[in-house]
Amino acid sequence: MNVCNSRAFAFTHTFQNSNPSEVISELQEFGLTGLNLALNYHASRDFLLRKGPRLEYLQDGFNYYLPNYSNYPQDSLRPAPSDSYGSSEALRSIVRAASQLNFELSAWGVFLHNGKLGAAFKECCVENSLGNRFLSELCPSNPRVRDYCRGLATDLMSQGVNSLAIESLHFHGARHGEHHERFFLEMSKITEFLFSLCFCVSCLMRFASANGDGAALKSKVTMELDSFLKENDKWLDLELTKDNLAAICGPEILAFLQVREETVTSLYSDVSSIARSYGVQTRFVDQTPLLDITSLEPLDQSWVLGVDPMEVRRYVDVYEPLVYRTEPDAVEHVTSHYLHRVSGEIVPILRPTFPDNSSQADLVTKVRKLRDMGIKEIDFYLLDTMRPRDLAWIKSALA
């Protein structure tokens, strides 16, 4: 079975000072049938090759188009005008060219990993049991944040795109939120999870509505973290599992985790409803495989992000796991795991570049294994950082 479609994740920078039709025609020659185009993205420093070589500093929470603020509910968080393009003309020209060339265009949005909004609205961020705010992580329980998610989804899907690639619509961990992070403490997976667990007012209210005692659980978590803060981490050799968390914090934490999952699922339900009204496909970019890069069955850890795969799968059209694995057999195993666990359309995302791939032969083998499994689309990350050689490898693998 041949791969019918293949998209690349890309920044709008790849179209700067270029004719969109010429860029798209070039990408089609390499076998690509679409792009997941970053229209809302977080801060990063990237070494770009297609418009370089140069270091590009992407702004936090930036919209690469002019938002329509009427899409956001009255009490919603809203992006500041300074955090957006002053016009959508560049995007409109890309959409027109894609339509004329039968090239699929997906709006790629990063929903809750937004340090710009977090710094401006600290009360809407994740707050751990110690009262620390994670300013790079908006809390999905917060009503204003939830309105923002609905507004952003509406805004992105109204741009003339075929689909919405949803990233970061869930809870997050303690790390990889800021530049130059410093944790000069040996931290187990259990400690890291408890340290990042949100006990903001909105999370406590949602738990209370399910007859849970969030204040008591918060106190218990704070107490359990005390020995880590004063002496050492007593859970370094203990696996992060729900059973182990229940043994440490009591069964109440299991009910708390269930409410977290219901909170996230309800947002996917809302976004899916909006998508249906626009005739737009929803694509869940699943970061779970990055929680443990050695794991071959990453869905077992989805709960860490507050994601219930079976429930989220009810609402999204496409499940797109980041299958960042070096060995072809590992790519095959992880993808098979998704096919059997969440069914429906699975689109593996591969990196044809370092550190996942070092040869054309390896990429060809990975793609062949996925095709043999019946996979109909394979996406590639990240176009702007690829060498011409990498695109040639993609073309060879897809041929």
State the pLDDT at residue 184. 81
CA distance 335 to 99: 31
The predicted-structure confidence for 355-376, as pLDDT tens digits, reads as follows: 999 999 999 999 999 999 999 9
Q: Which two tokens stand for residue 73?
A: 């509910």
Query: So what CATH class is 7-182+264-398?
Result: alpha beta
Structure tokens of 242?
């729900």
Q: Which of 365, 335, 129 is nearest to 228 (CA)?
A: 129
* Tens-level pLDDT at each residue, the chain (399 residues): 455 799 999 999 999 999 999 999 999 999 999 999 999 999 999 999 988 899 999 999 999 999 999 999 999 999 999 999 999 999 999 999 999 999 999 999 999 999 999 999 999 999 999 999 999 999 999 999 999 999 999 999 999 999 999 999 999 998 777 766 777 889 999 999 999 999 999 999 999 999 999 999 999 999 999 999 999 999 999 999 999 999 999 999 999 999 999 999 999 999 999 999 999 999 999 999 999 999 999 999 999 999 999 999 999 999 999 999 999 999 999 999 999 999 899 999 999 999 999 999 999 999 999 999 999 999 999 999 999 999 999 999 999
In this structure, what token pair is assigned to residue 230? 């004063």
Positive or negative, the CA dihedral 304, 306, 308, 313 is negative
At residue 1, the pLDDT reads 42
How far, in Å, CA of 196 to CA of 230, rounded?
18
Q: Which of 394, 68, 28 is nearest to 20 (CA)?
A: 28
